[in-house]
Amino acid sequence: MQERKVLECADCLVFPTEGLRDHFTNNDFALNAKSAILPHSFDASLYARKKSPEKSFGSSVTLRLFGSFYGARTPDALFSAINRLNLESQINITLEVFGAWHPSYAELEDQSGGRKKKHVRYMGQVPHLDALREMQDADLLVVVDAPGKGSSFYLPSKLVDYLGSGTPILSLCRSGVVCDITRKAGGIVADPSDVYGISEAIRNWLNARERQHSPSALTLSNYEASCVGRKFRDLVGCLLDEKVSKK
């Protein structure tokens, strides 16, 4: 198998999570011995400003989601949860979606129930730097993982971009990497297919948002480009030293 040949020929294997490493190496001792874990990172200098921890909230909030839907990953449960909350809450909740087109977006006007204000809006695609600015201006950022069984070992780079923005995070995910990182960052999680669970998670955030704090400096530092880059540079340096010593 070509993939196996690549793994065996490489001098070093770098994975963003331990679960992804185990998936590819299948606990092979030789492959694990030359593997390293380095997560995705964010560059703090690319964000327009530092997030203000003292933001005041009015009678409306804006949730923003960045990314694409495909396969089993769909926005339907999230859209239903947003519409349900707006029927029950006195706060106007708007979800803005940035990314590639999905067939579900064609039904947004119908899902608004004929009300004058749409609560879910498709915003199209924007350049990366513009997306970072939009992340900072949101009240809550949403990441959606695919539903399924078992623990998820994938780390979406978008989640790390979210961490860099300093904005609170709602992750619709299974147990696993996304869930763990979100909770460490003080965010909230819900099952991606559970409409009631999603609406309750957002409701709980609304009730507690004035008391919530930004992610700790320690949590963020693990994903800062300066930290991850330094580890990668050290890794490459060790590899080069080994090559020289063997000559």
Per-residue pLDDT tens over the stretch 207-247: 887 666 666 777 788 999 999 999 999 999 999 988 778 76
- Residues 1-19 have pLDDT tens digits of 788 889 999 999 999 999 9
Name the average pLDDT for the chain.
Answer: 88
pTM equals: 0.89
Asked if the model's pLDDT at residue 113 lies above 60, the reply is no
Residue 202's pLDDT is 95
- Residues 147-206 have pLDDT tens digits of 778 899 999 999 999 999 999 999 999 999 999 999 999 999 999 999 999 999 999 999
149 torsion bin: left (phi>0), alpha (psi -120 to 50), beta (else): beta
Residue 114's pLDDT is 46
Task: Calculate the CA 23 to chain-centre distance.
Answer: 21
| Of 87, 123, 103, nearest in space to 203 by CA | 87
Secondary structure (H, E, C), 189-240: EECCCCHHHHHHHHHHHHHHHHHCCCCCHHHHHCCEHHHHHHHHHHHHHHHH
**CA–CA distances in Å: residue 28 to residues 21, 25, 154, 239:** 10, 5, 20, 20
Which domains does the chain possess? 2-44+225-245 (no CATH), 46-219 (3.40.50.2000)
What percent of the chain stands above pLDDT 70? 89
Asked if the model's pLDDT at residue 60 lies above 90, the reply is no
**CA–CA distances in Å: residue 162 to residues 14, 83, 86:** 23, 24, 25
Residue 116's pLDDT is 41
